[in-house]
């Protein structure tokens, strides 16, 4: 059947028409419906369950009535369980062939994320790439026909400020004469890198803004800086609007490869999202009579390599397959107008350099913010976003690598995993005697004490680290991650497949109507993630001949929220004195801010990005052994004791490139 | 009355709807009707006469019937003569207030112009700004993760060709990876000024094109050059699509000032026109399997200052009033994509510098093509386009000026004047005895011999110079330009106002049904034009202490078609041996070509444009006296003999700034 069909999503009430053959996930994305899609529509996560209210007749007695959806696929049969209730489908699999009405259960909703990235105070010399100069020009007369207005401004900049050979952007030229006369021959000129005039404003204007942006896979954070003081004057953040097209990097690369206009769609989403952030972050500036985004005369941006390519409209296919070659590694200066970014159109967006196919400009941001190359101590910097990126070294040498941690730290691949949104269990303690848990839910001030209903919905990344560390300490799982048998507690039981699970919250404490549990598979997913981190760090240490870490720096929003003790308990990274393990928040964003307010930081970024040695850990000798060892809690000397056999028996796929 | 009304133009049959209150000229421009508008709709030329076929009831007996046009204005009463026939209106004055049908008489049609600009062979060292380099790259492997594809290309260019610090345009980066792999790691890279990579093509491509464009007020000429040989391989030209908005520079500046979006309208017209030329000039390239305009990797452009500003979207108001200050004088390099020019989008359009408010980049083109600064001889270079521009000097010093010749040389302000189009009388001889003329019409191979009907329609610029020189030689007019009284020939008669006129063609030799005459006003218009040129040259000579010209170079299409002897007879420029007076064709276009194929010519243009001394002749002492003297045929020592009195009696406005 061809044509278009009406699709109606409840409880949001969003409705519209889609072409026959599109999936319900396509429809949800087009209509802006809040629907989880961790795997980006590849049918591997099973998170996009929706209940069909009208138009689907799974077991209809009247055979003459046609279903308005495609038939149930094998993939759906695998993910949909009896406890999900009747008429349930996976949105990514069910195709529309007639009018339908759907209900999105709360569990399938992505939810509005709480964004916790925030920039620290940064100490750096104020020397921005864009500077403002006030000029009082000689009005033109008939006796002075030797120059045009552009030459008049250039001469004044040379005479008064010693700036020579300046170019002038074409868009600046276009209204130059009007601007000069509006200001009665007094103008303020913004000059980029002592090389190009990017703005001419009438009259004397001393306030000057720059914007630093950190495009994370999940979160986009923007920092508005006053370029005259170097201070961050406003901060805004949002969920990356590309999330509906896939929650992780590989899902988005796949989306670009498998959808016509997929790249353009995702590119437009992030450009539009940044423009929204610009509108919000400059709302007060507009209120003061100036002109919002146009008041921003400089911008820096960091992201991982895939976000970098998609933002710039580069086909990401080549960074998604061996040999993982990016289009460009060096820093870029691209006109905001060419990118569609709504700041002063003649201004440049400075894209920080990337290190290698898997280590992006965000890691370069971390690098120039934390400056391990100036450190006498040997420092390990772990930036845990959707991927894990490591920097290791000191002033002698620094190595970097990217670890395929998978999205477990972000709550994906975990049965009740979710992002750090309201309802997520974020902290857990388990009494070693009773094995009864206490937990804290995002959005609630107090720890859950079994007295009031807390409406838990799932477990976020820091909660998963906490609960598994606590399960280990309480003897619920052993060093290999296996559930200990025959414990006398109703909290440990078998699931429908006969595998053990730990009940963290009973159904009546939740808003989803079912028990929230931690399964054997969840433990394995976390072991794989932390093992990848640990093994990466260990192999880099080996390669550099480093025996011991002096400091461990946890960068990224996630790094700020995990419990240091829990991370040491689990063995997420090689041993270090607990007082020398600390979080620095969004160091990638800090790096973007530094590059905004100090132009030398841009040179430093380019130079150090090349100087840092990228290590492809998956091809290092001994990787598999190190990885298997690292999966233990804590890591063990002999990995082959029993873990490998266990994993094989449990059919846990041990895959490095997530 | 508001709303929209149907307007139908005959004989072209073009029809459409316009808003109530728009003029018929607005409607004609919108519908693409071929209708003269010399003054650009200011109501001063009276050339846009149209006959109302339906909808206008000038003297309708039934008073209840409403006219569908606004009432006859005083301005129309002035221009419309009984001989024009009934129901005639000026299109620029009559406003539409109902459905109307019009007929455009042949006399009011602009006609398809014959363009006669053509580039000469030019001798200049081949050193284009854009050069192509073929590269065989090492395919990327997992063992070589230190660089992206952009770095790979830059390194190869450095190693193999010694090019360092190259930037790469963003649009090139966007499909770089695809292009490299299409060519199986063999690519051809176009590099601009040894500084920026503007194109990467798969495989080895040796052919390379550049485009030189001369945007004249009336004619746009484009020259396609093979950048590997320096040869012009194709030429195309068209009427400047801005002509409907005003035939001369001041009309267009006025149009921009008086019409909302007037600047944008004219800018879009010229950009669209150049893109059409690009399509035509690259038609064969497309046929050979390449990609038309995108094969052009470099472009240069020249024009006068007003065309320069309109092309670039700069408000031309400031160059239209004292102190006539342009936005910018220096040369510009602007991305084709930013201008909307459809060549390779990452390539630059090089705009040659301008000399001063009235002496544009086209004159700089003439300057670098003719190189008076390398001449031992003292040379006067006259570029007669819609304006007259003069260069005078030798290797010691060169002066420039612009003369307000008015559009008489182009056939405007002449009763039967027209552009050099089919039907225009272009050459004239008058028998001194009989005072009978012979003439040649454009589009006819032979001179008119009174045997066959030649369908003359009017007189073009070279025809006007010829006929007035011949009238002087035949004793029909005297040195002051006044008609000699009581000549025994039916060719000289009084017009309706009692003023003398010379019948050049009888009605039965024409296609317009009336006699084609040369009036006293026509003679005066030409005297003003040639007087401006002569006085300009004379004053520059005085200022530079030059007594005698060694050479006179006539540049521009018009300069190529005027009769050298006639121009000397009339005294268009100070005396020079007739063998040292010669035409060089479109020297402005030649300069654009030189700047395209030799990058030093761009530097030379910037340097010499500043070195040349601009003389504002209207403010030179003695200008009025010189101008009055120069109007005589030939010029006289004492201008006040009788000409000034005559002109005052005839109410001829003597105005310098046309």
Sign of the CA dihedral B229, B234, B240, B241? negative
| Complex ipTM | 0.76
Please tell me the predicted confidence (pLDDT) of residue B451: 58
Question: What's the CATH code of the domain at B597?
Answer: 3.30.420.40
B387 and B357 housed in the same domain:
no
B238 and B154 housed in the same domain:
no
B427 and B496 housed in the same domain:
yes
Per-residue pLDDT band for B79 (boundaries 50, 70, 90) equals confident
Rounded CA gap, A232 and A230, in Å? 7
Question: What's the CATH code of the domain at A135?
Answer: 3.10.20.880
Question: What mean pLDDT do residues B293-317 have?
Answer: 95
Specify if B598 maps to a domain.
yes
Which H or E run includes A134?
A: strand A130-136
Q: What is the pTM of this model?
A: 0.79
Residues of A in contact with B615 (CB under 8 A): none
Specify if B114 maps to a domain.
no
Chain A contact present for B657, CB below 8 A? no
B547 and B562 housed in the same domain:
yes
Contact B656, B650 (CB under 8 A): no
- Strands ordered across the beta sheet of A209-215: A232-239, A219-226, A209-215, A296-303, A348-351, A332-335
Domain boundary among B499, B523, B547: B523
Task: State which residues form the domain around B26.
Answer: 4-108
Give A405 or B226, the one with higher predicted confidence: B226
Residue B320 reports pLDDT greater than 90: no
- Residue carrying the six token digits 């278009």: A4
Chain B contact present for A62, CB below 8 A? no
Rounded CA gap, B338 and B353, in Å? 19
**Of A24-33, A394-403, B212-221, which range is least confident?**
A24-33
Q: B538-577 pLDDT, tens per residue? A: 999 999 999 999 999 999 877 778 888 888 889 999 988 8
Please tell me the predicted confidence (pLDDT) of residue A392: 96
Question: What's the CATH code of the domain at B23?
Answer: 3.10.20.30
Per-residue pLDDT band for B644 (boundaries 50, 70, 90) equals low
Question: What mean pLDDT do residues A521-547 have?
Answer: 92
Task: Give phi and psi for A474, each to the nearest 5.
Answer: -85, 5
Specify if B426 maps to a domain.
yes
Residue B139 reports pLDDT greater than 80: yes
Specify if B302 maps to a domain.
yes
What is the percent of chain A with per-residue pLDDT over 70, rounded to a whole number? 90
Domain boundary among A139, A174, A202: A202
Question: What's the CATH code of the domain at B327?
Answer: 3.30.420.480
Contact A127, A600 (CB under 8 A): yes
Specify if A430 maps to a domain.
yes
Per-residue pLDDT band for B61 (boundaries 50, 70, 90) equals very low
B423 and B486 housed in the same domain:
yes
Q: A214-241 pLDDT, tens per residue? A: 998 888 999 999 998 888 999 998 889 9
Q: How many CB pairs under 8 A join A and B?
A: 132
**Of A32-36, B173-177, B211-215, B258-262, which range is least confident?**
A32-36
Please tell me the predicted confidence (pLDDT) of residue B636: 44
Residues of B in contact with A357 (CB under 8 A): 145
- Residue carrying the six token digits 């990467």: B200
Please tell me the predicted confidence (pLDDT) of residue B285: 82
Task: Give phi and psi for B388, each to the nearest 5.
Answer: -105, 125
B80 and B92 housed in the same domain:
yes
**Nearest C-alpha neighbor of A400 from the set A388, A415, A390:** A390
Task: Give phi and psi for B390, each to the nearest 5.
Answer: -120, 140
Residue B59 reports pLDDT greater than 60: no
A449 and A553 housed in the same domain:
no
* Residue A611: closest C-alpha in chain B: B146
Residues of B in contact with A146 (CB under 8 A): 356, 610, 614
Question: What mean pLDDT do residues B527-532 have?
Answer: 91
Contact B493, B503 (CB under 8 A): yes
Residue A657 reports pLDDT greater than 60: no
The CA–CA distances, whole Å, from B499 to B174, B485, B521 equal: 70, 11, 9
Sign of the CA dihedral B383, B384, B390, B394? positive
Whether residues A325 and B149 touch (CB distance < 8 A) is answered with yes
Ordered DSSP codes for B125-156: --B-SEEEEEEEPPPP-TT--S--HHHHHHHH
Q: A72-104 pLDDT, tens per residue? A: 888 888 888 887 888 889 999 999 988 888 888
What dihedral do alpha carbons B248, B252, B258, B261 form, nearest 10°? Answer: 160
Residue B645 reports pLDDT greater than 80: no
Peptide bond into A447 cis (omega under 30): no
B161 and B241 housed in the same domain:
no
Per-residue pLDDT band for A643 (boundaries 50, 70, 90) equals low
Task: Give phi and psi for A183, each to the nearest 5.
Answer: -90, 10
Helix (H, G, I), strand (E, B) or coil at A349: strand
How many domains is chain B built from?
5
Specify if B658 maps to a domain.
no
Q: Cβ atoms within 10 A of the Cβ of A459, count?
A: 30
Question: What mean pLDDT do residues A333-337 have?
Answer: 96
Chain A contact present for B142, CB below 8 A? yes
Chain B contact present for A313, CB below 8 A? yes
Residues in contact with A562: Cβ distance below 8 Å, sequence separation at least 6, in sequence order? A384, A461, A462, A465, A466, A554
DSSP type of residue B356: B
Q: B184-224 pLDDT, tens per residue? A: 999 999 999 999 999 999 999 878 999 999 998 888 999 99
Chain B contact present for A141, CB below 8 A? yes
Alpha helices of B548-586 — where are they, by DSSP H?
556-561, 564-570
Chain A contact present for B326, CB below 8 A? yes
Specify if A413 maps to a domain.
yes
B299 and B315 housed in the same domain:
yes
Rounded CA gap, A349 and A313, in Å? 14
**Nearest C-alpha neighbor of A366 from the set A129, A595, A127, A611:** A595
Domain boundary among B500, B523, B546: B523
Chain A contact present for B268, CB below 8 A? no
Q: B216-253 pLDDT, tens per residue? A: 888 899 999 999 888 899 999 888 999 888 878 888 99
Specify if B323 maps to a domain.
yes
Contact A113, A420 (CB under 8 A): yes
B397 and B531 housed in the same domain:
yes
B394 and B543 housed in the same domain:
yes
Q: B389-409 pLDDT, tens per residue? A: 899 999 999 999 988 777 778
B380 and B430 housed in the same domain:
no
Please tell me the predicted confidence (pLDDT) of residue B247: 76
Q: Which of B171, B323, B332 sits opposite A142 (nearest CB)?
A: B323
Please tell me the predicted confidence (pLDDT) of residue B640: 41
């Amino acid at each position: 059947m061809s044509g278009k069909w009406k699709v109606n999503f409840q409880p949001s009430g969003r409705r519209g028409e889609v072409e026959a053959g599109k999936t319900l996930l396509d429809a949800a994305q087009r209509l802006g419906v809040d629907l989880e899609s961790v795997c980006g529509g590849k049918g591997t996560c099973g998170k996009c369950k929706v209940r069909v209210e009208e138009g689907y007749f799974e077991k209809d007695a009247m055979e003459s009535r046609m279903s308005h959806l495609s038939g149930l696929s094998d993939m759906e049969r695998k993910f949909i369980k009896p406890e999900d209730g009747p008429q349930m489908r996976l949105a990514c699999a069910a195709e529309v062939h007639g009018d339908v009405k759907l209900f999105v259960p709360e569990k399938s909703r992505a939810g509005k994320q709480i964004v916790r990235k925030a920039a620290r105070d940064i100490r750096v010399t104020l020397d921005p790439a864009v500077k403002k100069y006030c000029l009082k020009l000689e009005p033109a007369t008939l006796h002075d026909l030797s120059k045009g207005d552009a030459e008049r401004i250039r001469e004044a900049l040379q005479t008064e400020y010693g700036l020579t050979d300046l170019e002038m952007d074409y868009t600046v030229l276009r209204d130059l004469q009007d601007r000069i006369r509006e200001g009665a021959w007094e103008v303020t000129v913004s000059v980029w890198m002592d090389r190009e005039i990017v703005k001419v404003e009438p009259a004397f204007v001393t306030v000057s803004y720059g914007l630093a942006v950190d495009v994370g896979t999940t979160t986009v954070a923007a920092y508005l800086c006053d370029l005259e003081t170097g201070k961050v004057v406003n901060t805004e953040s949002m969920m990356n609007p590309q999330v509906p097209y896939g929650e992780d990097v590989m899902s988005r690369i796949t989306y670009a490869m498998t959808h016509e206009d997929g790249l353009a769609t995702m590119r437009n989403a992030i450009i539009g999202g940044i423009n929204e952030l610009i509108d919000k972050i400059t709302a007060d500036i507009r209120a003061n009579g100036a002109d919002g985004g146009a008041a921003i005369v400089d911008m820096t941006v960091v992201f991982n390599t895939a976000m970098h390519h998609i933002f710039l409209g580069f086909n990401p296919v080549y960074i998604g397959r061996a040999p993982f070659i990016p289009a460009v590694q060096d820093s870029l200066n691209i006109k905001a107008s060419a990118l569609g970014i709504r700041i002063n159109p003649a201004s440049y967006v400075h894209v920080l350099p990337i290190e290698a196919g898997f280590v992006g400009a965000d890691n370069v941001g971390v690098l120039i913010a934390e400056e391990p190359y100036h450190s006498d101590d040997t420092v390990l910097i772990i930036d845990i976003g959707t991927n894990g990126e490591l920097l290791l070294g000191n002033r002698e040498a620094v190595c970097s690598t990217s670890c395929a941690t998978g999205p477990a730290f972000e709550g994906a691949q975990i049965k009740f995993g979710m992002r750090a949104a309201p309802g997520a269990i974020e902290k857990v303690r388990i009494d070693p005697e009773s094995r009864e848990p206490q937990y804290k839910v995002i959005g609630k001030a107090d720890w859950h004490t079994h007295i009031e209903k807390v409406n838990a919905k799932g477990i976020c990344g820091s909660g998963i680290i906490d609960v598994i560390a606590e399960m280990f300490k309480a003897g619920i799982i052993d060093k290999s991650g296996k559930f200990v048998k025959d414990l006398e507690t109703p909290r440990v039981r078998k699931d429908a497949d006969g595998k053990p699970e730990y009940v963290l919250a009973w159904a009546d404490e939740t808003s989803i109507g079912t028990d929230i549990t931690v399964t054997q598979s969840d433990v394995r997913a976390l072991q794989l993630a932390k093992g990848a981190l640990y093994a990466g760090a260990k192999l880099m240490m080996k390669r550099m001949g480093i025996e011991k870490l002096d400091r461990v720096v946890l960068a990224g929003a996630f790094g700020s929220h995990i419990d240091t003790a829990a991370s040491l308990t689990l063995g997420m990274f090689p041993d270090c004195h607990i007082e020398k393990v600390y979080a620095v928040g969004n160091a990638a964003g800090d790096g973007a801010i530094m590059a905004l307010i100090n132009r030398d930081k841009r040179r430093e970024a380019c130079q150090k990005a090349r100087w840092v040695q990228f290590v492809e850990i998956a091809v290092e000798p001994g990787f598999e052994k190190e990885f298997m060892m690292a999966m233990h809690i804590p890591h063990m000397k002999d990995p082959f004791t029993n873990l490998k056999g266990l994993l094989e028996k449990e059919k846990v796929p041990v895959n490095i490139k997530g």
